[in-house]
Amino acid sequence: MNVNEGTQLSTRIAAIQMTSGPEVIPNLETAGRLIAEATAQGAKLVALPEYFPFIGASDEARFAAREVFGCDAASGPIQDFLSSAAKKHGVWIVGGSLPLDCGDPAKLLNTCLVFDDQGKQIARYDKIHLFAFRKGTEEYNEARTIQPGTSVVAFDSPFGRIGLGICYDLRFPELFRQAGAEKPIDLFILPAAFTETTGKAHWEILLRARAIENLCYVMAPAQGGRHPTGRMTHGNTMIIDPWGEIVARLDKDIGVIVADITPDRIAKVRSNLPALEHAVLLKR
């Protein structure tokens, strides 16, 4: 359903919200149930949140869970799960994020993999911007254990041109504009695990801004609620339209939201406000 090809059919997409724990298998079981729920509601594209296989695992456990990229080589249970679920349900899956081996025993990649409805892996994005935050006793420093990605990723699909980001990437509008430099993006998908502190302050504002700036849909599947380890994530999984209007939202805890995305809506907004054309002219 690429607006650039003039197709006028709508497509139902789904964003999954989880409150993942530190053990992989129970989280995969929850994700599988929610994928089935989404497809039962007619979704053709389903997206999982950042680190859906675990939240709150120790560094040792996260390193132990690293997989070698390439599910065709049976590289690990997480990639196998995503491929099998996509094929089983005949649905495209954006696999939130999972830990991949980066060749450094002290670090890992935080990676989003996309699988088509035949279970074939067709896109990969390694998180570029690594979260750092300190306020009182709350402190995060992803660069300590994560190796940053180096490439912006966008790809064509039956649902339009899709761009990928992960969580903290949301704060860097230049990544989104660069993703659409070759061809405008119809849908950005941003798996996340925003903290409650930063999410309460900025999550909705930033998501709506990225949709407005790029005149496209934004789908943001999130971790939401109090995790078994005590960590609180902001949740508020959303699907936002090209005018910045929230068309579906889930506050906290586990669940699925769905929405229909339509190329007519994208085309109308871009016709009314040709900001992307102006941005291209500004570069020349």
- What H or E segment, with its residue span, contains residue 232? strand 232-234
d(CA 267, CA 172): 25
**Distances from the Cα of 70 to the Cα of 25, 76, 79, 115, 270, angstroms:** 20, 9, 8, 12, 38
Known catalytic residue: 102?
Answer: no
Neighbour count for residue 145 (Cβ, 10 Å): 16
**Residue owning tokens 């053709």:** 44
DSSP class of 176: H
Task: Identify the CA nearest to 55 among candidates 123, 110, 133.
Answer: 110
Which residues share a beta bridge with 237?
Answer: 250
Task: Identify the CA nearest to 127 among candidates 108, 100, 109, 145.
Answer: 109
DSSP class of 199: I
The one catalytic residue among 44, 102, 127, 196: 127
The one catalytic residue among 112, 167, 196, 252: 167
The one catalytic residue among 50, 102, 216, 252: 50
Known catalytic residue: 167?
Answer: yes
Q: Which positions ≥6 away from 118 have C-beta within 8 Å?
A: 86, 87
The CA dihedral of 197, 198, 202, 203, to the nearest 10 degrees, is -100
Q: Which positions ≥6 away from 96 have C-beta within 8 Å?
A: 47, 48, 49, 50, 51, 52, 112, 191, 221
What residues act catalytically?
A: 50, 127, 167
